[in-house]
Structure 1
Amino acid sequence: MMEILVFKTNVTSKKKVSMVAPLLTSFPTIRQWNFDLQDRDKVLRIESTELNPASVELLLLTAGFNCRELDY
């Protein structure tokens, strides 16, 4: 089953998105992802099957970024 996870991040530019892109793209259960840099929360939306939000938070943390799941 496909689910959409939404995260607040501190990824603030296209350059920073390009730093995390390889990590997100390599995750096998992530189908699509995108950042909304215009949003005040710099939202990361992920379409995935079987993805633990804590895994995404840890993934971005290893790249030097903060990430927290939002309730929507």
Structure 2
Amino acid sequence: MISPFYLKHKTPNNIYVFKTNIESESDMNVIEFLLNSNPKIIQCSVDLEDIDRVLRIEASKYLSEKEIIDMVKSKGFYVEELE
């Protein structure tokens, strides 16, 4: 049984999915280093095989989509939310 205390205080995470122009392993390393330096980001990955170069991010509920977009754009990459 899960403790009611745990359920009450557990912070839900958000999943964000973006279309990008990340094209290579070196591009991916730049983005992963940037995103992994943010303590609000739990996990991130880029699918280089997908035509949309999908960036998937699991983050705390305290990180906004706009913050992620601004971070990725700061490195010169295109990024937009996939719905």
TM-score between both structures, scaled by the size of structure 1? 0.92
1:1-72 to structure 2, matched below 5 A, reads: 1-50=12-61, 51-71=63-83
Structure-2 separation of matches of 1:49 and 1:20: 18
Q: Provide structure 1 residue ranges, at least 5 long, that are not aligned to the other structure.
A: none
Identity across matched positions, percent: 38
How many pairs are equivalent?
71
User: How large is the Cα RMSD of the aligned pairs?
Assistant: 0.8
TM-score between both structures, scaled by the size of structure 2? 0.81
Structure-2 separation of matches of 1:47 and 1:3: 6
Query: Cα distance, 1:16 vs. partner?
Result: 0.5
* Greater Rg by CA: 2
Q: Deviations over 1:42-71 (max 9, x none)?
A: 000001112211111110111010111111
Query: Cα distance, 1:3 vs. partner?
Result: 1.6
Residue 11 of structure 1 aligns to a residue whose secondary structure is coil
Query: Cα distance, 1:14 vs. partner?
Result: 0.5
Higher-strand-fraction structure: 1
Q: Deviations over 1:9-65 (max 9, x none)?
A: 000111111122221001111000000010110000001112211111110111010
Q: Provide structure 2 residue ranges, at least 5 long, that are not aligned to the other structure.
A: 1-11
